[in-house]
Each structure stands twice: as C-alpha cells, then as structure tokens.
Amino acid sequence: MAGKILLVDDEEGIRRVLGISLSDMGYEVHTAENGETALQVFRDQRPPIVLADIKMPAMDGIDLLRKLKAEDPDTEVILITGHGDMDLAIKSLKYEATDFIIKPIEDRDLESALEKARQRIKLRQQWRSYTENLEDMVRRKTDRLTAAAEAAENAGNGRFQHLFEELPGYVAVIDGDYRITEVNKAVKFDFGVDDPGGTHCYELFRGLDEPCLSCPVARSFAEESPCQEELKFTPDGGARTCHMFAWTTPLQDEAGDVSRVMIMMTDISHLLDLKDHLASLGLMVGSVSHGIKGLLTGLDGGVYMLNSGFSHNDPEEISEGLKTVKTMSSRIKRMVLDILYYAREMKLDKQPADIAEFVRETAEVVAARARESAVELVRDVDASLENSRITIDAEQLRAAIVNILENALDACAEDREKDWHRIGFRAFAENGTLCFDISDTGPGMEAEIKENIFKLFYSSKRSQGTGIGLFITRKIVSQHNGTIEVESAPGRGTRFRIRIPYRQ
C-alpha cells in the first residue's frame, strides 16, 4: 500500500480516470471536486500527498496549495497544469509545490512526480529521526557501557565483557600514551585488526604519526569529564572516508585517578549526506525564487511600457516594451528549462554516434543566435575523425556543449570593445581522448570567476543566470568519464576543453 492520496479536480471524468491509475499504483485514493471540500477531506484523512488541478472555479490550485502548506508545511502537493500555463506553474514552485505535471497526463510523468514526493517524505522522516535520536542514543549507550566496563573490571565478570564486545558502534579504551588497551568486535572487524593492543589510537583510526590536533580523548584526560567531537576517519585501510561522532568518558582506577579513557564512536556520514542534500534543496529554492522575482519585475516593466506606449501612441516606448518582454520571456524559459533539467534524474543512454555529425548538429543549435549577434561560428572536425564514431549519450553531451557555446555567445555579446567576434568549436583526437575545444574572443574571466564557474548556483551573469548550466555540463562530462578544463584571462577570451575517453 503506497498510502493515502487526495485527488482534487473539478472534472468528474478526470477524477475517475486518474483515481483508477492511482488505485492501480496502490494508493488509497480520496477525492474532492473543489478546494473547500479538499480542505475538509484533508483535515479528516491527513494524506501525505495531494494531487490537485491548478485551474478550478472558486479556490484554484495555487490557493489550495497555500492553504494546505499553511496547515501542514510537510504536505507534498503536486499540481496539474494545462499546456501553456507556465506562469501558474512557476507560481506553484514559488509556493513550494513538490512538482507540476502537464496535461495531458502521461503515466510516466505522474509516476515520477509521485516518486519525488515519496522520496521527500522519506528523506524528511529519516532526517527527523536521526537528529532526534542520535544524541540520545550515544548518551544512553555510553552510560550503559561505562557502567558495564567498570563492573567488568571490578568483578571480572565475563558477562559484561560479552556486552562490551557486542556493542554496536566502535568502542575502544585508551591509556595516557594514546595506546589502545581494548577494543570491541566492531573495531576489530571494520578496522581490520585482531589485536590492536598497544597500537596508538591515532595510527589505527586515522593513519597518523602523531596525536590528532583536536582530540576528545586528551580533553577527557585533562578535564576528567565526558567530551564529544566530530571526526573524519578512514577505516578499511583508507578505502573510504567516514565522519564519526565520538563520545569519550574518563575511567577511574581503584585509587580514583583517571588512568584510561573510553571512546565510543558512531558513523554519521549518512547523516551528513542528508544534511548536504537538504542544504542544496534549500539553496535551490532560495536562489531560484530570487532569480524569478528579478525576472518577473523585468517582465512587469516590459508590459507596463507596452501599455504606456500604446496609450501615448509612442512607437519608441512600444518597441522598448516589446524588446523587454521578449528578453525576459526567453530568460524565464531558459531558467525553467535549466531547473527542470537539474531536477531530472540523469541516466545516460549511450549509443555509437558519428563524430562529425554530432559536432555539426551541436553547432546548429546555436547557429541562429550566432548569426543574430554577428558572431562568426567556426567549426572544425579533424580529418582523421572523418566517418568515425564514439559511444556517447549524444543528447546529453550536446546539452553540455551547448551550455558552453551559449555562454561563449553571451560573453561575446557583452564585450563591446571589439566590433567582431569569433567562436571556435573544434574536435580532434589526442592521447586516447576525443577533445572538444570551444574558444571565444569575448572579454575573458577574472581568476575568481574562473575558479567558481562549475559550482552549483554560481553565476557571473547575475539575474540572467541560474548557476546551473555549467554545473550540469560538468556532471554530464564526468558521467562520460571525461574531464573539462577552462583557460581564461581578462582580455584574452576563454577556452573550454572537454576530453572523453576514445580509441580510434
């Protein structure tokens, strides 16, 4: 059972057909024919996912979305929009809809939107339970362990020794010289040692030659009290890195002196991954909504000037307004496409492709814009590559290169120092790789910009860029096991080079 879902649409036919699809997918379907009823059903049933039509009489999908989010911000709301309702769709993202699907509804789109909603619900639950439980868990275990270890030492009781061995998480007892005197099974297993007795803790856990700079064990010795710390570890002989949450507690000997410290650790890498994921989602929503606000202002401006131009019968103002509207709508389109592209799962579909044809078709995508901006676009495929093929996902790799070509066009358009500009797009084979070389005669980049261009949400184009394009480009290139480099300096243009493994 996939759980409850609430389906809101004013058309009975759609409710019936979609209802059947959703039941088939295993959902317990509740329906409502308008926003008011939807809210009542929502309060009764508390479905985690709501699927609603964006255009309904009285309360529309956006109003419903806002009310649902106000009642329970964790509700995943998917909106159904008509073809061409892009403005409403953007608005729905602003009010934190999970996704939108476009009519006519394809089963695949519906499934992927629902999958996204379920993922978000799962992620949120995991995150919540981790943060709530982690500290509590470590504290409880440490308390129990301290008692167990002390009792075992005093009474020599094998039962407690057994408990110590079986405890989940890594447990070690360390003396004043940072030498390990005892470890539990988990340490032996994961750090690959049978008897670590006498080994330095920093050596075993982190492969270091001297004590760590910030060491909770040392602090516990000095302060005679429990300490905690997040540490980076390399178990499995350095094959992987994991982040540990470490908790130390001083152990007193018979004279009441602290002669040893027990350290207990738990792997929190997974938790940190979740944190990164959430942070990137948050950043995404923030940066996107900010960008959209700027674009909407520009669009408002264009429409205002158009209106004003018509009422004053001023052709110059009309054409100014029209130009603004055109620019803004193309930027919005680009932004929405970027976002949709980023949001999509990227799985490569690799097929053999003719190299010369790939280059020609890729250049074709930006040829019209180059002509309009009076930029010469020169493409060149090395003669040795004639009739050669390479196995790539042509659609994805083309998108990656088009991002670079479009940036090159933007750069040339921005540079008014020269009255001519050229973009070179070359392909040639070199050292077992196929190189794509994209160079422009634009203004070039400062070192600081150059270092950041591949970062997600970094844009040097301010309100005109989403900071997603080159991030995607690099992702696609690395999915092809390739590399991407950039050379650039102010006044000297920019050159990107993509290398994809290739055997002639």
> For residues 276 and 414, which CB has a smaller minimum distance to another protein in the complex?
414
* Minimum CB distance to another protein, residue 296 (Å): 4
Rounded Cα gap, residues 440 and 425, in angstroms: 9
Rounded Cα gap, residues 221 and 248, in angstroms: 10
Choose the binding region for another protein from 75-83, 135-143, 286-294, 336-344 (rule: CB under 8 A): 286-294
Residue 228 touches another protein, criterion: CB under 8 A: no
Q: Compute the CA torsion angle 241, 244, 249, 254 (nearest 10 deg).
A: -30
Q: Which of 462, 491, 503, 504 binds another protein (CB under 8 A)?
A: 462
> For residues 232 and 293, which CB has a smaller minimum distance to another protein in the complex?
293
Choose the binding region for another protein from 18-26, 82-90, 224-232, 299-307 (rule: CB under 8 A): 299-307
Residue 296 touches another protein, criterion: CB under 8 A: yes
> For residues 318 and 365, which CB has a smaller minimum distance to another protein in the complex?
318
Question: What is the CB neighbour count within 10 angstroms for residue 335?
Answer: 20
Q: Which of 157, 297, 319, 351 binds another protein (CB under 8 A)?
A: 297
Residue 300 touches another protein, criterion: CB under 8 A: yes
* Minimum CB distance to another protein, residue 336 (Å): 17
> For residues 301 and 424, which CB has a smaller minimum distance to another protein in the complex?
301
> For residues 261 and 299, which CB has a smaller minimum distance to another protein in the complex?
299
Question: Per-residue contact track with another protein, 12 to 41, x per CB under 8 A?
Answer: ------------------------------
Question: Per-residue contact track with another protein, 302 to 321, x per CB under 8 A?
Answer: x-xx--x--------x--x-
Q: Compute the CA torsion angle 86, 87, 90, 96 (nearest 10 deg).
A: -120
Q: In what order do the strands lie in the sheet with 76-81?
A: 27-32, 3-8, 49-53, 76-81, 99-102
Q: Evaluate whether 247 touches 226 at the Cβ level (below 8 Å).
A: yes
Rounded Cα gap, residues 392 and 498, in angstroms: 13
* Minimum CB distance to another protein, residue 269 (Å): 33
Residue 329 touches another protein, criterion: CB under 8 A: no
* Minimum CB distance to another protein, residue 471 (Å): 21
Rounded Cα gap, residues 454 and 474, in angstroms: 7
Q: Compute the CA torsion angle 357, 359, 364, 369 (nearest 10 deg).
A: 180
Query: Which of 437, 344, 444 lies closest to 382 in space, CA to CA?
Result: 437
Q: Which of 19, 82, 211, 301 binds another protein (CB under 8 A)?
A: 301
Query: Phi and psi at residue 263, in whole multiples of 5°?
Result: -120, 135
Choose the binding region for another protein from 289-297, 342-350, 365-373, 482-490 (rule: CB under 8 A): 289-297
* Minimum CB distance to another protein, residue 190 (Å): 45
Q: Which of 240, 293, 333, 492 binds another protein (CB under 8 A)?
A: 293
- Number of residues counted as binding another protein (CB under 8 A): 20
* Minimum CB distance to another protein, residue 81 (Å): 21
Residue 333 touches another protein, criterion: CB under 8 A: no
Which amino acid is located at 333 in the chain?
K
Which amino acid is located at 472 in the chain?
I
Q: Evaluate whether 499 touches 483 at the Cβ level (below 8 Å).
A: yes
Q: Which two tokens stand for residue 246?
A: 């470490």
Q: Which of 284, 328, 375, 500 binds another protein (CB under 8 A)?
A: 328
Residues 106-165 contacting another protein, CB under 8 A: none
Question: What is the CB neighbour count within 10 angstroms for residue 499?
Answer: 20
Choose the binding region for another protein from 27-35, 323-331, 336-344, 493-501 (rule: CB under 8 A): 323-331
Rounded Cα gap, residues 107 and 160, in angstroms: 57
* Minimum CB distance to another protein, residue 305 (Å): 5
Residue 324 touches another protein, criterion: CB under 8 A: yes
> For residues 63 and 87, which CB has a smaller minimum distance to another protein in the complex?
87
Rounded Cα gap, residues 216 and 166, in angstroms: 23
Residue 416 touches another protein, criterion: CB under 8 A: no
Q: Evaluate whether 66 touches 95 at the Cβ level (below 8 Å).
A: yes
> For residues 21 and 289, which CB has a smaller minimum distance to another protein in the complex?
289
- 10 Å CB burial of residue 488 (0-12, 13-18, 19+) is buried
* Minimum CB distance to another protein, residue 327 (Å): 7
Output DSSP code: residue 462.
G
> For residues 189 and 304, which CB has a smaller minimum distance to another protein in the complex?
304
* Minimum CB distance to another protein, residue 295 (Å): 9
Listed in sequence order, the residues at least 6 apart from 238 whose beta carbon sits closer than 8 Å to its beta carbon are 207
Rounded Cα gap, residues 284 and 338, in angstroms: 12
Listed in sequence order, the residues at least 6 apart from 221 whose beta carbon sits closer than 8 Å to its beta carbon are 176, 250, 258, 261
> For residues 15 and 91, which CB has a smaller minimum distance to another protein in the complex?
91
Q: Which of 61, 169, 298, 467 binds another protein (CB under 8 A)?
A: 298
Interface residues toward another protein, by CB under 8 A:
290, 293-294, 296-302, 304-305, 308, 317, 320, 324, 327-328, 462-463
